[in-house]
Amino acid sequence: DGGITQSPKYLFRKEGQNVTLSCEQNLNHDAMYWYRQDPGQGLRLIYYSQIVNDFQKGDIAEGYSVSREKKESFPLTVTSAQKNPTAFYLCASSYPRGSYGYTFGSGTRLTVV
């Protein structure tokens, strides 16, 4: 079955540490996205990529980095420069123009310890 997989489900980060969240899809979607959701809040776009080897900053890119070396994969690194990284991170993918909506992964819950 086609889908989008995020790992790990839970992640704990120490202060000053970089961590990488994995996102893989086998839906043959060109576009991929990373969102952050804080408790009781809406989704905020971190980065998105429309094609391989290309990506753009979203609304809250500071302290994050991404790569898109393969169509199927769009990993997100939360760097030590992100001062408040505790949140629920959601990866999504779509066909061009998002015409059929986005498919989301099940998310990674990141906590700073």
Partner 1 sequence: RKEVEQDPGPFNVPEGATVAFNCTYSNSASQSFFWYRQDCRKEPKLLMSVYSSGNEDGRFTAQLNRASQYISLLIRDSKLSDSATYLCVVNIPNTDKLIFGTGTRLQVFP
- Give backbone dihedrals phi and psi of 96, rounded to 5 degrees, phi first: -55, 145
Of the pair 16, 40, the CB lying nearest partner 1 is at: 40
Q: Provide the minimum distance between the beta carbon of 80 and partner 1 in the complex, in angstroms, as a whole number.
A: 26
> Do residues 108 and 8 lie in contact, with contact meaning Cβ atoms separated by under 8 Å?
yes
Q: Give the x-and-dash track for 50-89 against partner 1 (CB under 8 A).
A: x-------------------------------------x-
Q: Which residues contact 29 (CB under 8 A, 6 or more apart)?
A: 93, 94, 95, 103
- Under the binding rule (CB under 8 A), the answer on residue 27 touching partner 1 is no
Of the pair 35, 112, the CB lying nearest partner 1 is at: 35
Of the pair 17, 57, the CB lying nearest partner 1 is at: 57
The CA-atom distances, in angstroms, between 53 and each of 13, 30, 106 are 28, 11, 25
